[in-house]
Structure 1
């Protein structure tokens, strides 16, 4: 192991242009650290974890890639299982937006920077695999004392870049060890596995984005061209290049003597510029012909086997004049009336429902989180069940067997045939975890493994059972606060927090009258909904509704029963409702006025202090006629 002093001297020698026994990639990175980023090798630079809000932004920007890459990443992690590797997916800025590792080593991994949210850009961390990969655009290993910063010299890190379909580097996959054998060659297999994973992720991304175009896949061996191609490009109907994997870009660039680092020179060019064929020859490269008969030649003489995939035929469905998708139509009927916040929520749900992304629903008690989760399930098209679990309602001693099920004889009193758990019952459908913030920490670890491995181990069992579930979770509490307090696992938080839907409180909804009318229509006896007097409507509007829609539903149910089919008057409302409503309304108005005054009527600052949106403050200023 190189001493700290020797390591600093070696970096200084590289800075002076003297010969040292390091890979050229490492030397160039050291020089960038010294000359471009002005880093000091004598000063330790510990791992930097970006703040939670910034991490959320990075993950949201990468959510499509994370969704496409997740299967490949989990497969890679399983390939190196038991060898203490940690897997990171970093975005183009070097921030880890996905993490797979042994949860029992959380503290060690966080300290070493092998953790969600760690920033591994060269400017921040010095020479490292992720940062050097971003700079060079190529797969590489930064092994132990290859690292610029002495803090990181115990690590061995291997990374490969992911390119988008336009040839731009968009992410990096890295697998790292806290400690490893001395020889750098020990990581050659790791480099091969990471590169193969990246190649498959890029192919999946290209296929997802070009379903309605020609895709041409390549391999040097006919046995692999159909099952595990090395590269691919997509083509439009006239045979011009639309997109490519990194391997595809390299094939095209070599064929015409171009530089793959300048992808703009490849996109939009006819396929005949690169290959000895044109668009009319694509039909001869489909699976209708044996693989050995599908050999083509690049313009540089390189021989390749090819597989052409025909475009999927687009179905032209007649749309209404408003062009609302079936998912939007369903969600629109379910969620609300003319409220801009609800309209924005409905549009977001319509887009997310068709994906498999985990969704976290946040909102006060009684705002309709399960209702929204059910709408997501119905709009998703999944064939399996919608299974709802209230994590706060199941006794802690039963929650494990309820979630994971159990095998026959697992414990005293167990059913003779065993029992399938709620998670397994949701196979092929949606698992809704309500009040996830109340799940015990011990079970959070098991849930994390279910989400990562997509398999469940029954209580008393030895063989895991595969499950294919879409997870929607909900909480009225801030999970981020629970993470900071140590009551909720951070890695589970980011698994569940991929996409967030926020349900507004009833008191802040602009479609309050619509909600009232909708509930009344359910409680009415027959086709005609009950009628409410103006005084009652005013009392309803001025109440702060701590119980939200659930409370409103209870109030109206009592009022309809007491009115006996006539107009609902103040006397029909539950005892004390009007007085409570008036007191709560006055208190809220006074609080808002005091906050605004203390903030010199700065609406943004008042909204921050009250924990609400600026639009809510503006609505309440108008409601209470504050000046």
Structure 2
């Protein structure tokens, strides 16, 4: 097909004609035209991001690449002789791992089949990586399926990689610079890529579930122990803690839930999905023959299952950096990218003795994080917490630095150690440091600079050795610019800055919810949420963050019967807003689906299980326009 014919076909699709292309290609072309406003007549050069940006993307994907590497290399050995190159792109479409023949590097780089290439649809038009990110499905974009004329010689096949919480984490792609004419020639490529992704997801689940029971499933007993189709992890209370993408589809199908809503799967009792309890599932080990390990699913289907008992010691499984993380690190949150990045940083920063500044809204868990830093640091001294906003201004210096005998009216006759000295050999946590009076800031700066503390009214300084962690809900950099915080102290405190997101932005909210249900459960048994109560808690905006959520669960625990929390047991401020939250939840879901479909109304309607007319009516009701 020539350049002009290719453009004409795309324009016909834009006018609503059917040209015989696969629906996934047609939908992508329409997104390119309508949502991204791309011009098919304007050729775009391949985009290779800067070294700085590439380094950032690779650092964020480091753990996944580490786990995936053996699978990637195995796949490349299978396809290299057919001149394929292999790309692993992150969720933004940036290639973070690349395997290809070095002798073709110049051609591959020019074509964008190279490390650091960006293959998102808005940037590259219709392509396998971009379409995979948009749809969440394995697919092939072959030659003139590509939107941009510069990519039409290529044949690219990609499959999505999901993390253990059901979120898209990466895309695995194999591509050819030139290929056989027929698209069906890539069916085997799609099978190989999907199989590799399945093994990578399983390895990732095993790496993140060492203290949980792992259940692997297959439709036939012969494949159960060698190539399972799906897997999930279950904790000691029988609740789902993780899953492969096949596992998510299995659970969703069992309960009639859309697999694109993993928050409705994670944290649920495993008995909701299978006609068996935890004990029966845990007994399905290799002690019995594969054909005897049959399990009934709630939707009526039958599968074969293999149970792998929790691994307490992981010496023989060097798959992930997470294995070498101290136990305290695992209490930070669920297995989501933002928390995984925080874990990786803390594993290296905590033992370093560097001053750390924690930034985040009130109630996001800054002191909790500071205590974990102290626990991981290996320091033998105490953890001493000081709330700089809670101590009266006239007392803060004597509280921090101590005082000499008779230093002021009401001072103890023997004098007193300050909190800084109490932290000797340990960690001093200065919470709400932004509220510390300016005079006290000056004295604290001298302590940090000189390693000595001079008590109020004293004449002899005392040597001190401690690690300082500070926190503030204020943007300290803005306070410095406004002259309300000492710049030199700011730079003493912020050798490393860690930010905690507000609860409404945390992807691991279901994980946090489960930990609080365990915390407030009677006699060590976790509380149970009704479906309506769970949806209400997940939809709330939580302006008070984790502290507000903790209080809400404690309140409900005191009111509920038999350990089951209903909507009526929740605080009034939640239940009063239930109708509004339901409406907000519907609107949020609608906006999220339309955005994920890049404004394609047909695709959004298909995902929501409604017709286009109904979708248009709901969009008008909520005032939603297609994104541009």
Rate the CA distance shift 1:42–1:349 in 2: closer, same or farther, 3 A. Answer: same
* DSSP 3-state at the match of 1:174: strand
User: What's the counterpart of residue 398 of structure 1?
Assistant: none
User: What's the counterpart of residue 14 of structure 2?
Assistant: 15
Consecutive unaligned residues in structure 2, runs of 5 or more: 315-323, 328-343, 353-447, 452-480, 482-489, 496-628
Q: Scaled by the length of structure 2, what TM-score is found?
A: 0.51
* DSSP 3-state at the match of 1:114: coil
User: What's the counterpart of residue 576 of structure 2?
Assistant: none
Could you say which structure has the greater relative contact order, defined with CA pairs below 8 angstroms and 6 or more residues apart?
2
Rate the CA distance shift 1:96–1:37 in 2: closer, same or farther, 3 A. Answer: same
Rate the CA distance shift 1:345–1:5 in 2: closer, same or farther, 3 A. Answer: closer
Offset of residue 81 of structure 1: 2.3
* DSSP 3-state at the match of 1:76: helix
* DSSP 3-state at the match of 2:221: coil
Paired residues of 2:218 and 2:303 also in contact (CA < 8 A): yes
1:109 pairs with 2:118:
no
User: What's the counterpart of residue 208 of structure 2?
Assistant: 209
User: What's the counterpart of residue 59 of structure 1?
Assistant: 58
Pairing of 1:96-495 with structure 2 (within 5 A)? 96-313=95-312, 348=348
Offset of residue 345 of structure 1: 11
Give me the CA root mean square deviation.
Answer: 3.0
User: What's the counterpart of residue 95 of structure 1?
Assistant: 94
Q: Distance in 2 between matches of 1:157 and 1:280?
A: 45
Offset of residue 293 of structure 1: 0.6
User: What's the counterpart of residue 607 of structure 2?
Assistant: none
User: What's the counterpart of residue 24 of structure 2?
Assistant: 25
Q: How many residues align?
A: 339
Rate the CA distance shift 1:38–1:211 in 2: closer, same or farther, 3 A. Answer: same
Paired residues of 1:129 and 1:158 also in contact (CA < 8 A): yes
Q: Distance in 2 between matches of 1:309 and 1:81?
A: 34
Cα displacement string for residues 430-465 of structure 1 (whole angstroms, at most 9, x for unaligned residues): xxxxxxxxxxxxxxxxxxxxxxxxxxxxxxxxxxxx
Paired residues of 1:203 and 1:245 also in contact (CA < 8 A): yes
Q: Distance in 1 between matches of 2:176 and 2:23?
A: 23
Q: Distance in 2 between matches of 1:48 and 1:112?
A: 9
Rate the CA distance shift 1:325–1:76 in 2: closer, same or farther, 3 A. Answer: closer
Rate the CA distance shift 1:261–1:351 in 2: closer, same or farther, 3 A. Answer: farther
Q: Distance in 2 between matches of 1:101 and 1:164?
A: 26
Q: Distance in 1 between matches of 2:237 and 2:149?
A: 55
Q: Distance in 2 between matches of 1:236 and 1:43?
A: 54
* DSSP 3-state at the match of 2:20: coil
Cα displacement string for residues 216-256 of structure 1 (whole angstroms, at most 9, x for unaligned residues): 00011111111221110000111111110000000011111
Rate the CA distance shift 1:325–1:106 in 2: closer, same or farther, 3 A. Answer: closer
Cα displacement string for residues 495-533 of structure 1 (whole angstroms, at most 9, x for unaligned residues): xxxxxxxxxxxxxxxx9x99xxxxxxxxxxxxxxxxxxx
Pairing of 1:595-606 with structure 2 (within 5 A)? none
Q: Distance in 2 between matches of 1:127 and 1:298?
A: 38
Q: Scaled by the length of structure 1, what TM-score is found?
A: 0.51
Q: Distance in 2 between matches of 1:247 and 1:307?
A: 15
Q: Distance in 2 between matches of 1:314 and 1:240?
A: 22
Q: Distance in 1 between matches of 2:129 and 2:40?
A: 19
* DSSP 3-state at the match of 1:171: strand
Cα displacement string for residues 269-305 of structure 1 (whole angstroms, at most 9, x for unaligned residues): 1111111111121232111111111001111112110
Cα displacement string for residues 301-324 of structure 1 (whole angstroms, at most 9, x for unaligned residues): 121100011112369xxxxxxxx9
Q: Distance in 1 between matches of 2:242 and 2:347?
A: 29
Paired residues of 1:212 and 1:314 also in contact (CA < 8 A): no
* DSSP 3-state at the match of 2:81: coil
Paired residues of 2:155 and 2:176 also in contact (CA < 8 A): yes
Offset of residue 21 of structure 1: 1.2
Paired residues of 2:91 and 2:168 also in contact (CA < 8 A): yes
User: What's the counterpart of residue 46 of structure 1?
Assistant: 45
Q: Distance in 1 between matches of 2:345 and 2:271?
A: 47
Q: What stretches of structure 1 move > 2 A for 4+ residues in a row?
A: 324-327, 344-352
Cα displacement string for residues 81-124 of structure 1 (whole angstroms, at most 9, x for unaligned residues): 21110000000000000000001111000000000000000000
Paired residues of 1:93 and 1:121 also in contact (CA < 8 A): yes
Offset of residue 125 of structure 1: 0.1
